[in-house]
Amino acid sequence: MNYSVVRTLPGGMAGRDLSPGTHADRNNTRPRFRRDIAGVPRFAMLLLFGLACLNAVEPLEAIRQAGAEGKYTLICVWRDNKPETQDFRRRFAEVAAAEKARAVIIDAKSDFDDATIELTRKLQLQRAPMPLVLAIAPNGAITKAFPKIPADGFASAFISPALASCLKAMQDNRMAVISIGSATLPGSVETQATAQAFVGKPGKEIYRALVPIEPAAAAELFKILDLPLNIDAAMIVLLVPPGQELATFRHPVSMEQMDAALAKAMSSGCGPWCCQ
């Protein structure tokens, strides 16, 4: 069994790999650093943590309905309607029109009055720069924030379901327990069972989210995690907010080994998720 633990240094600095043999094809002396999933800006990650179930009122109902239909939402939020804001909204409508086949397009005011406070609270926009475009995946994960209208469109906001699932766990302030396996990958059944048991530990289930994925559908996530596409055995990867890769395990793996890795990371200051 191979695993690696990433420590968090004071001041939010990234730490190096503390254990050897992270992956079979990796140089054991190669440093591993923290990553912010999908390159979401730090200010946006702060918004993401408070994302709640989007089922309140319009336009939140429109976002919920888009998710139910398997579509993204591109929402332009603004606070005042000054000439520059009007120009931003106009350009948003023009550029977003290209994504109508796979996204619901919404233009909405986000402020603190009775009519708009619900949207502001649900998307945690109290301190966000305005105007702003948010891209929201069908599962409710915010995949990207655009403080400017990109000249090349919003295509970069559309990510794989595997990556969106990891983002959703981060934004719900939960540890993502990524179980990687398939019908043909050795150890998949056993690894999946171990991951499920780890997530379902009494008192821990509200802090952990199981993210089962197949390698064939996870190329984008594998690239971010620095995993080879041609893995030869099932794996478990632990991510903690805001996207820090905490530990990687290769089949065979037990819950005791995972707990030991968490304890080691906790002693190096990995944050509250190692205690949960």
Measured between alpha carbons, how far is 78 from 90 in angstroms, rounded to an integer? 12
Contacts 24+ apart (CB under 8 A), 260-266: 261/3, 261/5, 262/238, 264/5, 264/18, 265/5, 265/6, 265/7
Q: Say if residues 99 and 153 touch (Cβ distance below 8 Å).
A: yes
Over residues 9-18, the mean pLDDT reads 27
Measured between alpha carbons, how far is 225 from 134 in angstroms, rounded to an integer? 24
Sequence-distant (6+) residues with CB within 8 A of 147 are 129, 132
As to burial, measured by CB atoms within 10 angstroms (0-12 exposed, 13-18 middle, 19+ buried), residue 111 is middle
pTM of the shown model:
0.76
* Intra-chain end-to-end CA distance of the chain, in Å: 23
Higher per-residue confidence, 146 vs 111: 146
Tell whether the model's pLDDT for residue 179 goes beyond 80: yes
Bridge partners, residue 221, by sequence: none
As to burial, measured by CB atoms within 10 angstroms (0-12 exposed, 13-18 middle, 19+ buried), residue 50 is middle
Range of lowest pLDDT (196-210, 229-243, 258-272):
258-272
Higher per-residue confidence, 181 vs 118: 181
- Domains contained in the chain, CATH given: 3-34+160-275 (3.40.30.10), 42-157 (3.40.30.10)
Over residues 172-185, the mean pLDDT reads 95
User: What is the three-class DSSP state of 256?
Assistant: helix
pLDDT, position 145: 96
Tell whether the model's pLDDT for residue 99 goes beyond 60: yes
pLDDT, position 38: 45
Q: How confident is the model at residue 122 (pLDDT cuts 50, 70, 90)?
A: confident
- The percentage of residues in the chain with a pLDDT greater than 90, rounded to a whole number, is 60
Higher per-residue confidence, 28 vs 101: 101
Tell whether the model's pLDDT for residue 142 goes beyond 80: yes
Higher per-residue confidence, 50 vs 184: 184
Tell whether the model's pLDDT for residue 69 goes beyond 60: yes
pLDDT, position 132: 96
Tell whether the model's pLDDT for residue 44 goes beyond 90: no
* Type of residue numbered 226: D
**Mean pLDDT estimate for the chain:** 80
Tell whether the model's pLDDT for residue 71 goes beyond 60: yes
DSSP secondary structure, 162-229, as one string = HHHHHHHHHHTT-EEEEEE--SSSTTHHHHHHHHHHHHTSTTTTTTEEEEEE-GGG-HHHHHHHT--T
Scan for tokens 């350009």, then name that residue.
91
User: Please, how many CA atoms are within 13 Å of residue 57, restricted to the half-sphere of its CB?
Assistant: 10
Record the tokens describing residue 154, joined without a space. Answer: 């919003």
Measured between alpha carbons, how far is 98 from 25 in angstroms, rounded to an integer? 41
Over residues 50-77, the mean pLDDT reads 77
Measured between alpha carbons, how far is 145 from 133 in angstroms, rounded to an integer? 6
